[in-house]
Amino acid sequence: MTNTEKQAALITGANKGLGFEAARGLGARGWTIFLGSRDVGRGQVAVEKLAAEGVRAVLVPLDVTSDASVAEAVRLVRAHTDRLDVLVNNAGAPGHAINPADATVDEIHGVYDTNVYGPIRVTHAFLPLLRTAENPRVVMVSSAVGAFAVVSDPAQAASKMHELAYSSSKAALNMLTVRYAQALPGIKFNAITPGEVANGKFAATDMNGHRGQLTAAEGAEAIIRLATIPADGPTGTFTDRLGPVSW
């Protein structure tokens, strides 16, 4: 199986934003897209939008914070295929940008449930389907603010963004990526950040009130690049649309 042949990808949080654009880009290659959405109505609208463009997308109701929802998603995907080539852990929660002095476990727990436990829950549940693919790949949608190199650089705006939940959750996601990659050499695990770290740019989506300087499609480029790497491609890396990013 080469990456030009038809493949199947599950993308979490694909009803809008970067997940939707990744679904559109991979779907345009003739892939089957399992479109994860925690809200069935919003997911259905997205599936219909893609279908109108000729993309074969299957709605997968999927709340990454729920074991039951993830188990149901596995059952649904299994009804369509016995093989999953690509998993994109894209669903993310921004938190409330609360100053560390005022941050509580309650806020942090909700963000971790989506950004850290979510990818673990979904990855663990889909490992059997990924293992039946010839060149399975997992893309972790991380963030520049999950990088120590970025938040400790005074030249980066992120160094002045005082919050705990989101940045530490993405730092954890980066470590998960490396640890999965080391332990499971048969599956490629790579983390990406959707922006351009060197230029301090990010992608305009609902998550940031559309203040990003890049389009969502540009933000999804790195997701698509790592989702389509060949069998001799990298694992355990962290990149943006311009290239490698320091952890």
Ligand X SMILES: NC(=O)c1ccc[n+]([C@@H]2O[C@H](COP(=O)([O-])OP(=O)(O)OC[C@H]3O[C@@H](n4cnc5c(N)ncnc54)[C@H](OP(=O)(O)O)[C@@H]3O)[C@@H](O)[C@H]2O)c1
Residues that bind ligand X (CB under 6 A): 12-13, 15-19, 38-39, 42, 62-65, 90-93, 114, 141, 143, 193-195, 202-203, 205-208, 212, 219
Closer residue to ligand X (CB): 38 or 188: 38
Residue 54 Cβ, how far from ligand X at the closest point, in Å? Answer: 22
Catalytic residue status for 6: no
Closest to ligand X by CB, 121 or 135: 121
Which CB atom, from 25 or from 194, has the smaller least distance to ligand X? 194
- The tokens for 225 are 């690049």
Q: How far is the CB of 4 from ligand X (least distance, A)?
A: 27
CB of 163 to ligand X, least distance (A): 13
Which residue in 169, 170, 188, 201 is the catalytic one?
170
8 Å CB contact between 59 and 107: no
Point out the catalytic residue in the list 143, 167, 168, 169. Answer: 143
Sequence-ordered list of residues with C-beta below 8 angstroms from that of 98, at least 6 positions apart, any chain: 104, 107, 163, 164, 165
62 and 36 Cβ atoms separated by less than 8 Å: yes
What pairs with residue 239 in β-bridges? Answer: 192, 244
Closer residue to ligand X (CB): 135 or 143? 143
Q: Say whether 66 is catalytic.
A: no
DSSP letter assigned to residue 116: I
Q: Encoding tokens for residue 156?
A: 């980066």
Residue 27: CB minimum distance to ligand X, A: 16
Report d(CA 135, CA 25) in Å as an integer.
Answer: 19
Separation CA 219–CA 196 (nearest Å): 9
Residues recognised as catalytic: 143, 170
